[in-house]
Amino acid sequence: MRINILGEAGTPAYTACWQLIVERNHYLSADNPHLVIAPLLTRFLTADDIRVPEIGTLIFHPSPLPYGRGASAIRYAYRRKEPITAATWFWADAGIDSGDICEQEIIGIDHTRRPREFYELHIIPAMIRTLDRALEGIEEGHARRVPQMHEYASYDKKL
């Protein structure tokens, strides 16, 4: 399968995803990819971006979507003293962090760690475990799509 990674090469999240793709014997290619993954998306995708890959675009978000939508999810979870967060891969759609969930894993927040350290020690490994499960399902012809319960989205109401 041809996979394109959106993001800044050299970041821990990008590098970890690149290593997994190579280990699973997929090809990295920006030309006509079957699947696009975005481990650390910092821009909005256009409708054309979403339409290009044959299978779709998976975006990573470090929260239990739909709760925790938006930027700086880890920082806000720390501020709210949340006991958990999550590693979530979801399918890109026209909304912000609103697409169907492909894979998700709950993670207990270690408040003894600084957010950056927690991200590198706990979020990135969970991101890779969930991406591995997502790729396995896609390879087997089961691209999982679980609709989000939008009424629980954190940016839709005051919490």
State residue 19's pLDDT score. Answer: 97
> Rounded distance, CA 3 to CA 16, Å?
14
- Among residues 16, 15, 122, 10, which one has the least CA distance to residue 62? 122
Q: Do residues 145 and 102 touch, judged by C-beta distance below 8 A?
A: yes
State residue 43's pLDDT score. Answer: 81
Listed in sequence order, the residues at least 6 apart from 51 whose beta carbon sits closer than 8 Å to its beta carbon are: none
State residue 58's pLDDT score. Answer: 97
**Positions of the chain with pLDDT under 70:** 155-159
> Rounded distance, CA 151 to CA 65, Å?
11
pTM over 0.75: yes
The CATH architecture to which 2-156 belongs is: 3-Layer(aba) Sandwich (3.40)
For 24-150, where are the alpha helices, taking DSSP H only? 47-51, 73-79, 115-118, 124-139
State residue 141's pLDDT score. Answer: 94
Listed in sequence order, the residues at least 6 apart from 116 whose beta carbon sits closer than 8 Å to its beta carbon are: none
State residue 155's pLDDT score. Answer: 63
